[in-house]
Structure 1
């Protein structure tokens, strides 16, 4: 039996933070990062909470949050025992917060003989990329590996989309997170687990990216584009939460962890090569091109139209075309290929990819991604 699942409730718009004024909880645990504190963005949340409430702030989350950070936050969470937990930030604070709540539930359940623990969970994204505020996924780093958790218990109760938080984003972050949105949308659309519900959401997200991302990149203070990219991120999150993803994410997770590349940029670098290798999805890529208004006469041309769109978008936002442009040493890369393939194959995103690649296919793919050519 197939299923399409929607959670959380979504509050959006410039006045969406006013939702916090009506909360009745007395104890709040906020998971965020140091930049949210330094930029005083956390103050926008604090000033909306009930005046007599007690607040504990855990601001130690770093990019690509580690198991150690989740453990540290978990201890603070248990000690403070809040009624409401708020995750504020990009994908890293939200993913870290999900991990804390997930493991807290497991610990409490095991120690109490089955007692369920439910805290009101609010996610407030400050970037438009991961869609983590509406997904049951969390990615945590352990050494050079990324661990992808998936459990519906990690879904927030409320997601608050407020475009004011994105005013201060630098262009590079807008580029990286925007390409992450495109990757989520694209992989949700071509996934073997996709369905009419996820396809409709994914297509709308892709259209919003095409129409608004470059303008948002060039004019971060413009409200309209900022808001629409935020919607695209959320739509894409709902889509892939139901359809899963594919090897674009599996490869990006793996090379991102091994070579310390931001997740969105890793997705963007590998995307053209994944489009070429996913031959079973060429019809889907052509369908997307048609929805975007491109003209072509056959499936291969339709796929190429979408590929050119991706490559032009990357060029305009100054995103590298290959790993060697990041000055990654080839000798080191070559030695890591067997472990890279192993990690890609066991990543939870690989299962529903349209094409099933052999080890030889993966070797060729990784070499193409490194050298920036499709001729290998």
Structure 2
């Protein structure tokens, strides 16, 4: 038996933030990454709308780009001290991911992080609070999904936490927020959307409910990401990319992902590569590998009129000023010697990632290692 789960309420389009005025409750904790949401007035707007609803609120900010176990624990303690009946996560995927796990530890303070790593191990939530997610990036789709990614700083590993319990109750998809994103973040998060949609489409458990969402998201990204990147004030492109992110999230939240995310999680944990950037580099190499096990990429190629989707993705990366290999990444230091030193460990960890389970075919650790090598050198 299959299932399909999304938030109970999704508000989208211009002025979707107004939905906050209709919440019913007493207290809310607003979780955010901090500076940009404050700078552009979205935290103030959130608190104003909550006040109109009669809800007292406090802000927990400073969630880092790769949210750590320590940050999650601090946020959970802030919630235990305040006692909210709403948790409002606003910002990029990191803020939303962190808030989901803070929510878990707020409701179940005796749990440890290790307790919730295995898929299906998280207990039921909503005993104390409900959850609203307001994304500022068109990328992670954390506002719609059963996923959260938290970093174990000590072991340099990103752990995807998967539970239907952390699907938000309310998602607010307002294009005014991503319109403030810098161009490079628009590019990286947009290619994360592409990875979500493509991996959902070819997932071993993809189905008739998720395929249309994934294919529509792929088309929207190909048609809008370059405009959103180069003309950030084009609200039509922003709205389309924000919707594409949510549609892709509906798909992959219900059928999981694949090797692109498995490998991106682990190279991100080792070197701090931005998640969307890692996805963008890895996608063409993994599609080349996966084509031996699935015909569904051909379906996309026919739909979009492409002869080769890998070629189109590489061309799109170049239009977005995204490097084609990891050796050319400048945002972090990734020298060849260090890459080779961690390659075996990183490959095993990526193979063990839960996303590998739904990748087409039967990949091996050796396959993962070879994909990493090709994505590093461009061979």
Same-fold call, TM > 0.5?
yes
TM range (shorter): over 0.9
How do 1:1-376 and structure 2 match up within 5 A?
1-35=1-35, 36-51=37-52, 52-107=54-109, 117-143=127-153, 144-294=156-306, 302=307, 305-326=308-329, 328-373=334-379
Note the alpha carbon deviations across 1:271-314, whole angstroms, 9 max, x for none.
Answer: 111011113345211110111123xxxxxxx4xx2111101100
- Shift of the 280–242 alpha-carbon distance from structure 1 to 2, 3 Å rule, reads farther
Note the alpha carbon deviations across 1:47-87, whole angstroms, 9 max, x for none.
Answer: 21234532110002010100000000000011100111100
- Checking the alignment, whether the CA contact within 8 Å between 1:31 and 1:86 is kept in structure 2 is yes
RMSD between aligned alpha carbons?
1.8
Distance in 1 (CA, whole Å) between partners of 2:204 and 2:157 is 26
> Which segment drifts farther, 37-46 or 185-194?
37-46
Query: Over alpha carbons, which structure has the higher Rg?
Result: 1
Distance in 1 (CA, whole Å) between partners of 2:100 and 2:160 is 12
Q: Which runs of 4+ in 1 moved over 4 A?
A: 113-116
- Checking the alignment, whether the CA contact within 8 Å between 1:23 and 1:50 is kept in structure 2 is no
Three-state SS of the structure 2 residue aligned to 1:148 is strand
- Checking the alignment, whether the CA contact within 8 Å between 2:27 and 2:56 is kept in structure 1 is yes
Q: Which consecutive residues of structure 1, in runs of 5 or more, have no partner in the other structure?
A: 295-301
Three-state SS of the structure 2 residue aligned to 1:362 is helix
The Cα shift of 1:20 comes to 1.2
Match of 2:117 in 1: none
Three-state SS of the structure 1 residue aligned to 2:29 is strand
Distance in 2 (CA, whole Å) between partners of 1:120 and 1:114 is 12
- Checking the alignment, whether the CA contact within 8 Å between 2:91 and 2:136 is kept in structure 1 is yes
Distance in 2 (CA, whole Å) between partners of 1:362 and 1:146 is 17
For this pair of structures, how many residues does the alignment match? 362
Distance in 2 (CA, whole Å) between partners of 1:102 and 1:237 is 21
- Shift of the 24–316 alpha-carbon distance from structure 1 to 2, 3 Å rule, reads same
Note the alpha carbon deviations across 1:208-249, whole angstroms, 9 max, x for none.
Answer: 111111111111111111001000000000000111000000
Three-state SS of the structure 2 residue aligned to 1:351 is helix
Distance in 1 (CA, whole Å) between partners of 2:65 and 2:40 is 17
Distance in 2 (CA, whole Å) between partners of 1:282 and 1:276 is 11
> Which segment drifts farther, 314-323 or 359-368?
359-368
The Cα shift of 1:95 comes to 0.1
The Cα shift of 1:6 comes to 2.9
Q: TM-score, normalised by structure 2?
A: 0.92
